[in-house]
Each structure stands twice: as structure tokens, then as C-alpha cells.
């Protein structure tokens, strides 16, 4: 789990792709309740106050692509980078933006002018001071068209950046920009390290110099990354000495490693949560949590595919898929059918939309209207001599998506559509298929951010190679709404705008929104200091600690 809201670090609707996230988002909008107590392990602990030392180990389904967060769009990269870098602002436990590397900030002229004063005691891990020059360099790098980033949009909305002193800077906008403060919750990069570097090939993609609570100690490709505590971290040295991210691209294998004591945490599948972690050693040695995640999973259609250009086909597929069946069969009831890109129960969620429901006869009628009929009696619809047969690609290791794809495959077969399922290793999945548009459809997930702005995923300007609108969906009205939504701070105005955004998506079905899952994290009871707040469990991870007698470091020879 991230130290703070992952979304704040990512600038936009990232998570790309919650790729490695079985439980869902990195934060919650409600209190998360622990399912079991750690008292049985903790009752004999002598240390009653936090102590330094120990190693915390967690799994990742996919290896990070790059540890400079602006240059990567996968959640594994951002998870690790969030421990290495700092930002001017951060989210607190109540999901409020507060100073971080900034000592203070001011919002003036109705939000069109921001003034920041940085702390003067922050050092990069090579000893150089972090100053406003680094912030200015980061800004210039982000707006440079040669920078290979999907997250330039927030920075390009700035009219003027002005460094006003060694530790001060101000930012001016020519109009209200709703994400102005969120922009400054993104990583600050070191000018003296990255200036003049080719960002596509620089060694610092894999060996970054940061100023955060941890620094990179070791990276063995395909196996693990180890971060070690930064003794000079300005908020104080973290309690835990080392964070280990083990690359384990299979949930079942992760579970066996957790059970054996080689891992300290993981996101459980519903089956593991309900049936495989009860009683005995599980109650004594682990602590479980359950809460509705800020994330959703979806079946995304490549809008350039001849199969999915017709709106009637996309609606037919929605009618043909039983989302309740997926929630019950895949999530064991631990989640809800999704209706759009926002979390049920939040202010932005449009509760006036009615679900399509499971109506295979309506699906068949729409497909026939679109010209798809079974002319040769083989059970598969065809048009102009071509069968309706497409592939769904899924990243390896995500059992929930694989199971969802199997249910979808069966239901679409019932209406005459053949679905082939293909699983692909994560790095190849992104580089060779998603980024290049070489797919028919895919099952993925997004984290749901606190701010409803989804410009970077849905605006037509982002339907470019490497962009987050990788399904290439374009809609003029939606573009206009997304522009308006980020140009006002009035929540009532934004509610009207984003209600219409959801209506368009509901009508157009560029995604078949599948489900909002429960987050189901589990932690070893030796990890102390976990606190459940609106921001979730990870917001205070720098201050988790391991009692002295439980600081045995497991072997890293796996």
C-alpha cells in the first residue's frame, strides 16, 4: 500500500491500470475495519513504543518499468518511486492536501495564483540541497514535448512558473484550474542529476537519486528491489530499515509465500480472504482488512477495431454480460457491479443511471440490427463472411481478471460471439499491445481519484501512442465537458458536468464497466502502527515499525 494516495503522486488517473492490484485502490473514503486482531502475536511484545530496525517484504505482480514516476504509467513503478521522491504537497490521513516538501503555500486571486515556500532542510541522497531550481526543472521537463510522459497535461495548464528565491516559487494560471494544487503533489526531480540526460536511456531510470524516506539499495531484474531507510530524510528516518519488493507474478504463489512467512503483506483474492485465511495461525499471526476500494475493473474496447466501432455492438455486449454473476462468481460478493468511472456513494457518482442488466435477448436483437447473423449455422455470428471472433488480452498473474474473462467468454458465446483469452507478461502487455493499440479488447482496472477529473484517460487529445486513452475513444461533447470540469472549483457546477460525463459513457459504452471490488489487504501481525483512516492503510507507512524480537530478516535467496 502506498504511503499516501497513489493518485497524488501520479498526477492523473493512473494506476495505470491497477495492474498489480487485486484488492483495488490505494485508499478509501471510509473507515476500514480490521477483520482480525494482532493481539495474539503482540501480547508478548516487550516494545510498547516504536523501535528502529527490521525488514518489511511485500510482493509485486510486475516489475517496475522505471523509477522516475513521470516517465512510467504502471502502478509498480509508482509504488516504489513514491518512497524515493518527495513532492511539494501531499495528502494527509483525511485525504486533504497539506505541505510536504513545501513549508507553506498560499492560494491567491481566487485560485489563479499559487505561492510556495520550500523547506530549507531537504537534501537529495547525494547531499545536494533540494531547492526551487529543482521544482523549476521538473516543470520545464514536464512541458517539454520531448519528455516521454503521459502526465504533462496538468503542467501545460500553467500560464507562468516563476522562481522567486532559492526556496520560493509561484505559479500563475490564466483561468481557474481545478487540479492546480494536485499538480504539486507530484514528484520533484533533481536538476543536478537529470539535466542534460536523455530521459529515454538515462541510468537514473533504474538508479534514481531522490530525497524521500527510502533510497534504492538493490535491484535484481525479475527478482526483487530493496529500498533502505534514508538516514537524512527531513521528516525523520523511517522506523523500518528495509523495504523489499519481490517480483512474484502469480497470486497463488504470493499466498504460499505469505503463509510461509516470506512475505509480510499482500492483497488477498476474495476466495483467499473468505475461505483460506481463517482460524489457527491466521488469527494469531495476521491482521486482515476489508473496505470498498477506490478502483474499478472494466472490459475496454479498441475503438479502432471493426468489431467495436458500432455503438449497437458495444451495448449488446453490455446486455450479454451478467455483472452480478461476475461479482458473485469472481468476487464472492465482495464488491459491486460498476456503472462508470466513479465510486458508488461519493458526491460525483451519478446514481440516476439505470444499469443495462443481463438481457441476452436484447443483445441478440442489437447484434442482428448491426448486421451480425449466423449464416452458416456454426453458432458464431458473422458479417460479410467474417465471424465475430475477437481476443481479450489480460496481464499474467491477475486471477480475478482471468476468471472474469472466462465468464464473459461463456456469456458472449451464448449470443454468438467467440472470445479468445490471451494472458501476457506485464512489460510486454504494456509495450507491445496496450501502448501500440495491438489488441481487440482488454480487461484492466483504474484507481479512482479523489478529484473527478478524468481528462488524461478520456480526452481525445490523449488518444495517442503511449497515451492513457489507449482505446482511442473520441467524443466532442465529452472533450468539452472534461475541459469545463477542470476549469471550475464549484462542486455543484462540477456535479452537473460529471453527471453528464457519466451519461455519455453509459450511452456510448467505450468500456463495459465490470465491478468495484472490496480491498482485502492482509499484514503480518509483526508489523505495528497500522492505522485505518479515510486515506486507507498506507498513508503512515513510514512510521510502521517491527518490535525488536520480531525483526528476524527472512532469507533473500528466493
Cα–Cα distance, 337 to 340 (Å, whole number)? 10
- Check whether residue 299 and residue 201 sit in a common domain: no
The answer to the question of residue 456 being in a domain is yes
Domain-located, residue 75: no
What is the rounded end-to-end Cα distance, in angstroms, of the chain?
A: 22
Query: How far is the C-alpha of 457 from the C-alpha of 12, rounded, in Å?
Result: 8
Determine the structural domain holding residue 129 and report its residue range: 86-205
Average pLDDT, the chain: 90
Question: 393: part of which helix (H) or strand (E)?
Answer: strand 389-395
pLDDT tens-digit readout, 536-547: 788 899 999 999
**185 and 317 in one domain?**
no
Q: What is the pLDDT confidence band of residue 75, given thresholds at 50, 70 and 90? A: confident
Which tens digits make up the pLDDT trace of 360-375?
999 999 999 999 999 9
Same domain, 316 and 444: yes
In a domain, 34, yes or no: no
Which CATH number does the domain housing residue 160 bear? 3.90.76.10
Separation of alpha carbons 327 and 440, rounded Å = 24
In a domain, 444, yes or no: yes
Same domain, 199 and 303: no
User: How many domains does the structure of the chain reveal?
Assistant: 2
Residues 302 and 181 in one domain: no
Give residue 70's pLDDT band: very low, low, confident or very high (50, 70, 90): very high
Q: Please determine, for residue 27, whether its predicted confidence score (pLDDT) is greater than 60.
A: no
Whether 311 and 425 map to the same domain: the answer is yes
171, 205, 239: which is the final residue of a domain?
Answer: 205
Residue 495 falls within a domain, yes or no? yes
How many CA atoms does the CB half-sphere of 189 hold within 13 Å? Answer: 23
Estimate to the nearest angstrom the gap between the alpha carbon of 416 and the chain centroid. Answer: 34
Question: Given 147, 174, 205, which residue is the final one in a domain?
Answer: 205
Residue 492 lies in a domain: yes
Residue 27 lies in a domain: no
Q: Is residue 197 located within the same domain as residue 316? A: no
Query: Would the pLDDT of 87 be above 90?
Result: yes
pLDDT tens digits along 173-193: 999 999 999 999 999 999 999
Q: In terms of domains, do 372 and 488 share one?
A: yes
2: in domain: no
Choose the final residue of a domain: 170, 205, 240: 205
Cα–Cα dist 12/152, whole Å: 9
CATH number for 401: 3.10.105.10
Average of per-residue pLDDT across 330-358: 95
Amino acid at each position: 500500500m502506498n504511503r499516501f494516495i497513489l493518485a497524488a503522486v501520479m498526477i492523473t488517473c493512473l494506476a495505470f491500470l491497477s495492474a498489480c492490484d487485486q484488492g483495488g485502490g490505494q485508499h478509501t473514503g471510509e473507515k476500514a475495519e480490521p477483520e482480525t486482531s494482532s493481539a495474539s502475536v503482540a501480547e508478548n511484545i516487550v516494545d510498547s513504543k516504536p523501535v528502529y530496525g527490521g525488514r518489511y517484504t511485500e510482493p509485486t505482480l510486475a516489475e517496475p518499468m522505471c523509477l522516475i514516476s513521470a516517465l512510467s504509467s504502471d502502478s509498480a513503478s509508482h509504488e516504489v518511486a513514491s518512497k524515493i521522491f518527495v513532492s511539494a504537497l501531499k495528502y494527509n490521513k483525511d485525504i486533504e492536501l497539506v505541505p510536504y516538501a513545501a513549508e507553506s503555500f498560499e492560494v491567491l486571486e481566487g485560485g489563479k495564483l499559487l505561492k510556495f515556500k520550500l523547506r530549507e532542510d531537504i537534501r537529495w541522497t547525494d547531499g545536494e540541497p533540494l531547492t526551487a531550481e529543482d521544482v523549476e526543472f521538473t516543470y520545464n521537463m514536464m512541458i517539454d514535448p520531448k519528455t516521454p510522459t503521459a502526465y504533462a497535461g496538468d503542467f501545460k495548464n500553467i500560464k507562468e512558473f516563476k522562481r522567486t528565491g532559492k526556496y520560493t516559487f509561484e505559479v500563475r494560471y490564466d483561468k481557474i484550474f481545478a487540479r492546480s494544487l494536485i499538480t504539486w503533489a507530484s514528484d520533484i526531480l533533481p536538476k543536478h542529476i537529470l539535466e542534460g540526460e536523455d530521459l529515454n536511456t538515462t541510468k537514473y531510470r533504474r538508479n534514481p537519486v531522490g530525497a524521500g524516506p527510502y533510497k534504492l539499495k538493490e535491484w535484481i531484474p525479475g527478482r526483487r528491489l530493496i529500498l533502505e531507510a534514508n538516514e537524512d530524510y527531513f521528516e525523520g528516518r523511517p522506523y523500518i530499515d528495509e523495504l523489499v519488493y519481490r517480483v512474484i507474478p502469480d497470486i497463488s504463489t504470493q499466498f504460499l509465500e505469505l503463509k510461509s512467512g516470506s512475505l509480510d503483506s499482500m492483497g488477498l483474492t476474495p476466495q483467499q480472504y473468505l475461505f483460506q485465511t481463517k482460524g489457527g495461525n491466521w488469527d494469531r499471526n495476521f491482521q486482515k482488512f476489508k473496505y470498498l476500494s477506490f478502483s474499478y475493473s472494466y472490459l475496454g474496447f479498441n475503438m479502432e477495431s471493426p468489431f467495436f466501432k458500432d455503438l449497437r455492438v458495444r451495448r449488446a455486449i453490455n446486455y450479454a454480460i451478467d455483472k452480478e454473476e461476475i461479482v458473485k462468481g469472481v468476487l464472492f460478493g465482495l464488491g459491486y457491479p460498476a456503472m462508470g468511472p466513479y465510486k458508488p456513494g461519493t458526491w460525483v457518482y451519478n446514481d440516476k443511471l439505470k444499469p443495462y442488466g443481463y438481457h441476452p435477448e436484447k443483445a441478440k436483437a442489437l447484434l442482428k440490427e448491426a448486421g451480425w447473423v449466423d449464416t452458416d449455422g456454426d453458432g458464431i455470428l458473422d458479417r460479410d463472411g467474417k465471424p465475430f471472433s475477437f481476443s481479450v488480452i489480460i496481464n499474467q498473474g491477475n486471477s480475478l481478471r482471468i476468471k472474469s474473462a472466462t465468464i464473459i467468454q461463456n456469456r458472449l458465446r451464448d449470443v454468438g460471439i467467440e472470445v479468445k483469452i490471451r494472458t501476457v507478461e506485464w512489460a510486454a502487455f504494456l509495450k507491445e499491445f496496450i501502448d501500440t493499440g495491438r489488441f481487440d479488447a482488454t480487461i484492466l482496472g483504474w484507481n479512482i481519484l479523489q478529484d473527478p477529473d478524468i481528462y488524461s484517460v478520456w480526452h481525445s487529445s490523449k488518444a495517442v501512442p503511449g497515451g492513457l486513452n489507449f482505446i482511442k475513444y473520441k467524443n466532442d461533447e465529452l472533450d468539452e465537458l472534461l475541459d469545463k470540469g477542470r476549469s471550475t472549483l464549484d462542486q455543484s457546477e462540477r456535479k452537473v458536468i460529471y453527471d453528464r460525463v457519466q451519461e455519455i459513457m453509459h450511452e456510448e459504452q467505450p468500456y463495459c464497466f465490470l465491478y468495484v471490488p472490496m480491498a482485502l489487504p492482509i499484514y503480518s501481525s509483526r508489523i505495528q502502527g497500522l492505522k485505518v483512516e479515510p486515506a486507507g492503510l498506507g498513508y503512515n507507512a513510514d512510521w510502521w515499525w517491527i518490535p525488536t524480537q520480531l525483526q528476524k530478516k527472512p532469507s533473500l535467496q528466493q
